[in-house]
């Protein structure tokens, strides 16, 4: 049976500054070869004008309707961190951030939502877990980089509560509020606010943070919570498509997407989800996974981080580094493998956030209607034969090319 490889370069696409994007000016002969070998187009991961999160974007690319199956970022992040969420538990995405100011945690101002992109939070997580006492059981784990996941466990909880992450720097930490009149939401918000206060006290005076401050580094002294949600109910990928799924990713969230649809997560040494990740190792692992799995999702994260950081040159340089690393993909046997090369959304350096600008997509397989596009970029892709598709179409096209599609009608 033929195989499918979907390469998703997170936040790869951009909005032009003086007519240029990091992708359009990067020297990337291998991506251009992929464009030349395949059929090209632009893709609205969810729908035109809808800004995808990486979670909803990846669900759509795996063929799941995010409006039906998405139950918040928290549970996906928690699954990625290896936490087994049970019905009734409430999960959150957590950011190690930096606050300054006096008074309670809710009087303090967020000066960085990523604590200077801190990379090792093991000791800090341990201190929080040892010190914070709540009215419920909880699990707090680190994720990749500044990320983590918190799960409140037990009866009488609700996910109808607001974030404590204000989503912007210069703003005060938000107090968690119930979003409906239920006792459960009121109680959960109180528990969250207690977690915020206690964890801040522990982190602010932690020796590692005192040391960071001495070195002129930002303290990781607040845990910003967002995306509260409960256990998702989603059909396993294999049940839906009859294909075994493998996910090669360093980023906790994407591992989580793989786990909630019951795919296999391939761990690669040195896969960090940042610009120093082990690209060669990930590409090798993805190619190997094609021997054991039917559908392989290879995720590359750093382009998105560099977009969030507003770093045009950094994003271009990373694209060039990635381009060198993907060379082995060009030697795949495209009579047996269908390769989709694309992004989950745009993260323009000028916006430092995700936008709804469509992303380029190239599909390589024997027999595709190769078009005249020979450059992989936001400006060339739309001239290709795929024209403009939605995220959920990509997997269907691959199913058709690999002779898995069922005829609709007689």
Ligand X SMILES: O=C(O)[C@H](O)COP(=O)(O)O
Residue numbers at the binding site for ligand X (CB under 6 A): 54, 95, 113-114, 147, 253, 304-305, 308
CB of 80 to ligand X, least distance (A): 10
| Nearer CB in complex with Mg ion: 294/304 | 304
| Nearer CB in complex with ligand X: 80/358 | 80
Out of 21, 40, 54, 402, which residue is the one contacting Mg ion (CB under 5 A)?
54
CB of 235 to ligand X, least distance (A): 25
Out of 14, 55, 294, 344, which residue is the one contacting Mg ion (CB under 5 A)?
344
- State the Cα–Cα distance between residues 398 and 159, nearest whole angstrom: 36
| Nearer CB in complex with ligand X: 302/338 | 302
Per-residue tokens: 183: 């006792």
Question: 299 is in the binding site of which of ligand X, Mg ion, none (Cβ under 5 to 8 A by kind)?
Answer: none
CB of 365 to ligand X, least distance (A): 30
| Nearer CB in complex with Mg ion: 52/384 | 52
**Vertex 235: Cα angle to 234 and 240 (nearest 5):** 145
- State the Cα–Cα distance between residues 117 and 274, nearest whole angstrom: 10
| Nearer CB in complex with Mg ion: 323/344 | 344
- State the Cα–Cα distance between residues 398 and 234, nearest whole angstrom: 22
What string of DSSP letters covers 19-86?
TB-HHHHS--HHHHHHHHHSEEEEEESSSTT----HHHHHHHHTT--HHHH---HHHHHHHHTT----
Interface region with Mg ion, contact rule CB under 5 A, candidates 240-248, 303-311, 368-376, 389-397: 303-311
CB of 301 to ligand X, least distance (A): 7
- Contact call for residue 55 and Mg ion (CB under 5 A): no
Question: 55 is in the binding site of which of Mg ion, ligand X, none (Cβ under 5 to 8 A by kind)?
Answer: none
- Give 321: exposed, middle or buried? Use CB within 10 Å, 0-12, 13-18, 19+: middle
Per-residue tokens: 228: 């509260």
Query: Residue-wise over 210-244: b if at least 16 C-beta within 10 A, else e?
Result: eebeeeeebbbbbbbbbbbbbbbebeebbeebebb
CB of 387 to ligand X, least distance (A): 28
| Nearer CB in complex with Mg ion: 30/54 | 54
* Residues near Mg ion (CB under 5 A): 10, 54, 304, 344
């Amino acid at each position: 049976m033929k195989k499918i490889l979907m390469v998703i370069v997170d936040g790869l696409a951009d909005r032009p500054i003086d007519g240029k994007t990091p992708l359009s000016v990067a020297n990337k002969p291998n991506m251009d070869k992929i464009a030349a070998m395949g059929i090209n187009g632009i893709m609205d991961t969810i729908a035109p004008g809808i800004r995808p999160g990486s979670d909803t974007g990846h669900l759509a690319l795996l063929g799941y309707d995010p409006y039906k199956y998405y139950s918040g970022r928290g549970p996906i992040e928690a699954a990625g961190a290896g936490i087994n969420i049970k019905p009734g538990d409430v999960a959150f995405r957590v950011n190690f951030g930096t606050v300054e100011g006096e008074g309670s945690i809710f009087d303090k101002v967020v000066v960085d939502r990523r604590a200077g992109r801190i990379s090792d939070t093991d000791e800090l997580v341990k201190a929080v877990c040892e010190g914070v006492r709540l009215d419920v059981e909880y699990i707090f784990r680190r994720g990749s980089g500044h990320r983590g996941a918190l799960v409140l466990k037990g009866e009488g909880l609700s996910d109808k509560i607001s974030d404590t992450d204000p989503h912007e720097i210069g703003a005060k930490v938000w107090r968690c509020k119930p979003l409906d009149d239920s006792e459960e939401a009121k109680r959960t918000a109180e528990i969250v606010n207690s977690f915020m206060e206690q964890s801040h006290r522990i982190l602010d005076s932690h020796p590692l943070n005192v040391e960071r401050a001495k070195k002129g580094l930002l303290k990781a002294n607040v845990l910003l919570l967002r995306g509260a949600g409960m256990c998702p109910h989603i059909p396993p990928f294999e049940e839906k498509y009859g294909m075994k799924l493998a996910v090669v990713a360093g980023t906790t969230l994407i591992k989580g997407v793989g786990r909630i649809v019951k795919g296999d997560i391939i761990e690669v040494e040195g896969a960090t989800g940042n610009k120093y990740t082990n690209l060669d190792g990930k590409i090798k692992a993805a190619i190997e996974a094609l021997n054991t799995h039917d559908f392989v999702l290879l995720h590359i994260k750093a382009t998105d981080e560099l977009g969030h950081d507003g770093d045009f040159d950094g994003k271009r340089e990373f694209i060039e580094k990635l381009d060198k690393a993907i060379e082995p993909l060009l030697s795949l046997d495209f009579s047996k493998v269908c390769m989709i090369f694309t992004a989950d959304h745009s993260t323009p350096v000028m916006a430092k956030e995700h936008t709804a600008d469509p992303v380029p997509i190239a599909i390589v397989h024997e027999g595709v209607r190769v078009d005249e596009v020979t450059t992989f970029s936001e400006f060339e892709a739309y001239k290709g034969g795929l024209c403009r598709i939605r995220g959920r179409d990509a997997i269907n096209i691959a199913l058709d090319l690999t002779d898995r599609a069922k005829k609709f009608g007689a």
